[in-house]
Chains A and B, each alone.
Chain A
Amino acid sequence: MHAIIITIISFLLEGIFSFYIPIFSHFWLPIPTLLSVCFCHVYFLKNKSYIWYAFLTGILYDIAYTNTLFLHGILFVCMGYIGKKISQFISHTWYQFLVMTILLIGIYRLLSYIILIIIGYFHFNPSFFLSITLASFLWNVIYSLLLYVIDHFILKKFTTKRLF
């Protein structure tokens, strides 16, 4: 339930922020839905239900925000799995968590860029990839910290499971 609430809020935030952030912004490119999917694996007891949750969120994301149906369905599942694996190797401190966030954003950007290049969505342009990736870090790191705060100070009262 917590995972669904966090994801719904992140999903809606993504749409709202889109109006107030410049197109081709050099600093602010939010991807809160992806981050919520990556971090919420702790709330799932079964792997299978987590995969379905990530897949369906990705499909909804594609329907609402992109015209590449299934791309984010698969990407969100992959990123959720990668997030889960990374979280097994890091200690539960906030700065290690930020490192994990940066890693996840980098991997997500690289994966999506490679797939979009292969399917011919746009031409190969490394500087474009770099600018988009670098612009993604700041906002999302702040959002991760926000999730950390929410998890530690609010959700703590309702669940024993911790994001970090």
Chain B
Amino acid sequence: MRKKRKIERRYYIVIFFLCISLFLGLLIYLVRDERKTSSVERILQDSVLFVQKIVSAPIHFVTDQISETKEKNDIYKKYKKLQARVEQIESIEARNKELESQLQEMKALLELNQILSENTPISASVITRNIDGWYQTVTIDRGEKDGIKENMAVITGQGMIGEVIQVNSFSSTVKLLTSVDGNHKISVKIEGNEGYIYGLLSDYETGNQVYKIEGIAENTEIKEGASVVTTGLGNTYPSGILVGTVTQVKTDHFDLSRTILVHPSVDFNEIRYVTVLKK
């Protein structure tokens, strides 16, 4: 009788650990970025987000009105600034034409097949943001019906914010660059004294709120304030999108390479409207 109980207990322990392993295995499968969401999941997510959108609409309306009123107070200052800029537009246009022709030549030389201008922009509004701390995702109100696909780059007027990782019929989930999972490395180039220096954006320091670029050669000269832009390598992010500016250049623990800290060009707290770059 006693022996029987012991065996039963063992079974319980085995079943318990089996369940935990299965659960973890299932989660590993589910969090893969390349996983296609099921139709049930899509319908549920679209419905929940639709309700969320309706509920938050009046609150957003009120806050938008408040910020609009604040902006109206500064309108004269802004007008003066814009007036000064308008005077420079002609010279900028001429320079743009020159740069465009140079770009075409260089593109032909380098056989670049993915640049920013070749992507069709799709505007979207952010419906929800996950603020749980771990996930760093936002959900936008554009989905498969609008031509959104996984791995498309997402930007704002200030620069790069992330990529689409999950697409539903009427909404999509965007993984922000602030995600600290370390699984996504982005090819970037930094303005140096002698041309661009290439590196991989590998991490985000939550404490200092800066990106980290590691593995830069020790003898390279990089100044603080230099711009960091995407290279277009890796087939997800088009080239030339601003990521941030260099705030600090450090040498690693073994004095072998440099680590660069980059301040994001985007204010991640203020993401309300985004642009998805359709390939």
Residues of A within 8 A of B (CB): 12, 15-25, 29-31, 60, 63-71, 74, 112-113, 115-116, 118-123, 125, 127-128, 131-132, 135-136
Number of A-B residue pairs, CB cutoff 8 Å, is: 115
A70 to B144, CA, bound (A): 24
Contact with A along B161-186 (1 / 0, CB 8 A): 00001100000010010111111000
Which stretch (B8-16, B53-61, B226-234) binds chain A? B53-61
Which chain A positions have C-beta within 8 A of B183? 120
Residues of B within 8 A of A (CB): 23-24, 26-28, 30-31, 41, 44-45, 48-49, 51-52, 55-56, 59-60, 63, 126-137, 139, 165-166, 173, 176, 178-183, 206-207, 209, 268-269, 272
**Cβ A16 vs Cβ B182 within 8 A:** no
A16 to B51, CA, bound (A): 12
**Cβ A65 vs Cβ B132 within 8 A:** yes
Which chain A positions have C-beta within 8 A of B26? 70
Chain B contact residues: helix, strand, loop or mixed: mixed
Q: Tell me the nearest residue of chain A to B26, going by C-beta.
A: A70
Chain A to chain B contacts (Cβ below 8 Å), 11 pairs: A18-B130, A19-B272, A23-B129, A24-B206, A25-B131, A31-B132, A64-B128, A70-B26, A112-B134, A122-B181, A128-B206
Question: Residue B31 contacts which of A23, A29, A67 (CB distance < 8 angstroms)?
Answer: A67
> B210: shortest Cβ distance to chain A, in Å?
11
A58 to B232, CA, bound (A): 39
**Cβ A113 vs Cβ B134 within 8 A:** yes
Once A29-B132, A66-B137, A116-B134 are accepted as A-B contacts, the answer to whether A16 and B56 lie under 8 Å apart by CB is yes
A12 to B48, CA, bound (A): 10
**Cβ B30 vs Cβ A68 within 8 A:** yes
Q: Tell me the nearest residue of chain B to A120, going by C-beta.
A: B28
A60 to B207, CA, bound (A): 31
A136 to B132, CA, bound (A): 9
**Cβ A66 vs Cβ B23 within 8 A:** no
Which chain B positions have C-beta within 8 A of A65? 128, 130, 132, 135
Which chain A positions have C-beta within 8 A of B269? 22-23
Question: Residue A12 contacts which of B24, B55, B206 (CB distance < 8 angstroms)?
Answer: B55
**Cβ B133 vs Cβ A135 within 8 A:** yes
**Cβ B52 vs Cβ A19 within 8 A:** no
> A135: shortest Cβ distance to chain B, in Å?
7
Once A67-B173, A121-B181, A123-B182 are accepted as A-B contacts, the answer to whether A23 and B27 lie under 8 Å apart by CB is no
A118 to B23, CA, bound (A): 11
